[in-house]
Structure 1
Amino acid sequence: FRNRGPPSSPSRWTCAALKASAWPQWATPPGITVRGTWPHPSFFGQFLPETREISAAGFSAAWATTRLATNMIHQINAYLRGNRGLDSLIGVRFVNPADSYAQTDRAIKYGLLFIGLTFAAFFLFEVLKRLAIHPLQYGLTGAALVLFYLLLLSLSEHLDFGISYVIATVASVALLSYYLIAVLGGVARGLGFGALLSVVFGVLYVLISLEDHALLAGSVTLFGCLALMMALTRKVDWYQLSDAISVRRGKQEAVTAAKPATAPLDESGAGG
């Protein structure tokens, strides 16, 4: 860093693309301007900049305070006590949005949303196809979705994030498609649900890749999913459907109970 102005006037600092930098308020003049070549700054401290300009070429930020507001005497006393006035810094962090950990963190933040969307699709299959899906099957499906994020995090430590995302997606979709072929009662249904999951993971990748419009894209996605669910279930008679699923479950339990039990073996290994 380099100070280009006299100590009695507002200072102008030029900063390189470092990880982070901060200044105690008692050591800075009332006005300070920071410029840098990093396009993703994050400002922190007791006072945020009054003006800021951020572009692909870098950033510029200006702070303006009074010496009364900075409480200089308190800051100097804190410094002399060994605290070094770190309780009220002004500074800039240089964030890397393409970092694999940052992208994985963003994916995890959307995790509950997309697990919920998957369960909603699962529920639609149960309603529209009149299937009786056990809660344990919901649980195993959710466990497979949670493991997707663990795979993504562990792979991204060794591979590029995009490659890690593709591998984790293919593994999760293949596992769930294989399992759901039996749960949903057909190859076409299982593969269709797998294709739907592929679309969901694709939308998730787009959302975590966006920087400025992620909230807008997520809101539009949720609105579209809700509208689709309402359109598909608008003519469903929920009372009749509940009775039909209960009857079907009762028949399945009756068939299971009617199966002959295996005769127990005696000590010699022969049937009793």
Structure 2
Amino acid sequence: EIFTRKPIQFFQYVLVGIALILFYSLLLSLSEQIGFAWAYLVSSAVTILITTVYFHSLIKQKSATFILAGIMLILYAFLYIILQVEDFALLIGSIFLFVILGVIMFVSNKIKERKQVADE
């Protein structure tokens, strides 16, 4: 919403949140049938697909949609890797959270600078 300058309603956030929650339900039910790796692949692909298609229908910007899809792909891939390396999961997760925090701090600083320039 900040980057695209398109308003997104609360209900639309709720729908995306429900899709993210249903990922786990789909993962659990599929993993009982086809194994965890394939279930994770299918569940994450479906979640990314419906979320990005819905996002694109809201904002109608291909570049922002591809960025969202890429971010979701990276996050789901990283979560899968963490689940596979059980012995180092806490260490890898902690390092990744610090990296994410740094990125968010950097991006939020740019947002503040853009807002100040726009106000002037």
TM class by shorter chain equals 0.7 to 0.9
Match of 1:169 among 23, 32, 44: 44
Partner of 1:32: none
Q: 2: distance between equivalents of 1:131 and 1:229?
A: 20
Give how far 1:183 is off: 2.0
Q: 1: distance between equivalents of 2:4 and 2:76?
A: 24
Question: Structure 1, residues 68-125: CA drift from partner, whole Å, max 9, x if none?
Answer: xxxxxxxxxxxxxxxxxxxxxxxxxxxxxxxxxxxxxxxxxxxxxxxxxxxxxxxxxx
Contact (CA 8 Å) 2:4, 2:64: kept in 1 or not?
no
The structure with the greater share of residues assigned to strand is 1
Q: Give the direction of change, closer, same or farther, for the CA distance of 1:236–1:190 in structure 2 (3 Å limit).
A: closer
Provide the secondary structure at the position in 1 that maps to 2:70.
helix
1:1-272 matches, within 5 Å, as: 126-237=1-112
Q: 2: distance between equivalents of 1:236 and 1:189?
A: 16
Q: 1: distance between equivalents of 2:112 and 2:103?
A: 17
Question: Structure 1, residues 125-157: CA drift from partner, whole Å, max 9, x if none?
Answer: x22333322111111111000011000000011
Letter in 2 for 1:232: V
Looking at both structures, which has the greater relative contact order when contacts are Cα pairs under 8 Å and sequence separation is at least 6?
Answer: 2
Contact (CA 8 Å) 1:182, 1:190: kept in 2 or not?
no
Number of aligned residues? 116
Note the residue ranges of structure 2 that are not aligned, 5 or more in a row: none
Contact (CA 8 Å) 1:145, 1:172: kept in 2 or not?
yes
Q: 2: distance between equivalents of 1:133 and 1:203?
A: 27
Quick one: percent identity of the two aligned structures?
A: 31
Q: 2: distance between equivalents of 1:142 and 1:158?
A: 25
Q: Give me the CA root mean square deviation.
A: 1.9
Contact (CA 8 Å) 2:19, 2:51: kept in 1 or not?
yes
The structure with the greater share of residues assigned to helix is 2
Bigger Rg, structure 1 or 2: 1
Letter in 2 for 1:139: V
Partner of 1:70: none
Q: 2: distance between equivalents of 1:187 and 1:205?
A: 27
Q: TM-score, normalised by structure 1?
A: 0.40
Q: 2: distance between equivalents of 1:216 and 1:165?
A: 22
Report runs of 4+ in structure 1 exceeding 3 Å deviation. none
Contact (CA 8 Å) 1:181, 1:191: kept in 2 or not?
no
Bigger shift: residues 171-180 or 183-192: 183-192
